[in-house]
Amino acid sequence: MRHGIRRIGVCSALAAGTLALAPTAGAVSPTTATISFDCGIYGSGSATLTATQNGTAATINVSTSAITAPIQVGANSVKSTLTLTKGTSTVTFTGSSNPTIPAGSPVSTGPLSGTVASGDSLQAKSLKVVVMGITATCNATTAQSPGPFVF
């Protein structure tokens, strides 16, 4: 009987040690930032970016007044690519998830998914949105505020 109790104790200790070493969900900071975009003939305006992180997986939701829907746009029909700078390189977040967007309303898209490493510092640079086969490319005209997302 004593050996059975000792094995349970050893197994419990090993399990607890394994859980302590498991990677935890990261905490991106800030979680929300704003930026201004120029989308050429499609308009210009500000965007709110909301970031979340779970380990190396990250998502960013985008809500912008820079692009408005000319007609009602169905759910999950906007394809988006958000490009962020990381030093001298770039990282992209992509997705095709969106709520139904009424005609004349600002475009919201996301979550856009990407992969990050601990300590990555990412600043939004451009947003490409494809709505009903029409591509609008928006370039940042201001720095992201507050500063870059740090994952």
* Per-residue model confidence (pLDDT) at position 100: 94
Task: Judge whether 92 and 60 are in contact, CB under 8 Å.
Answer: no
| pTM (two decimals) | 0.80
Task: Assess whether pLDDT exceeds 50 at residue 15.
Answer: no
* Arithmetic mean of pLDDT, 16-39: 72
133 pairs with which residues across the strands?
none
Judged against a pLDDT cut of 70, whether residue 21 lies above it is answered with: no
Nearest to 142 by CA among 49, 27, 51: 49
CA distance 113 to 95: 6
Q: Write the burial class of residue 78 (CB in 10 Å: 0-12 exposed, 13-18 middle, 19+ buried).
A: buried
pLDDT band at 148 (very low <50, low <70, confident <90, very high): very high
Q: Indicate the length of the chain as a whole number.
A: 151
Residue 23: is its pLDDT beyond 70? Answer: no
Strands 89-95 and 78-86, by their bridges, are antiparallel
Burial state string for 125-146 with b = 16 or more CB within 10 A and e = fewer than 16? bbbbbebeeeebbbebeeebee
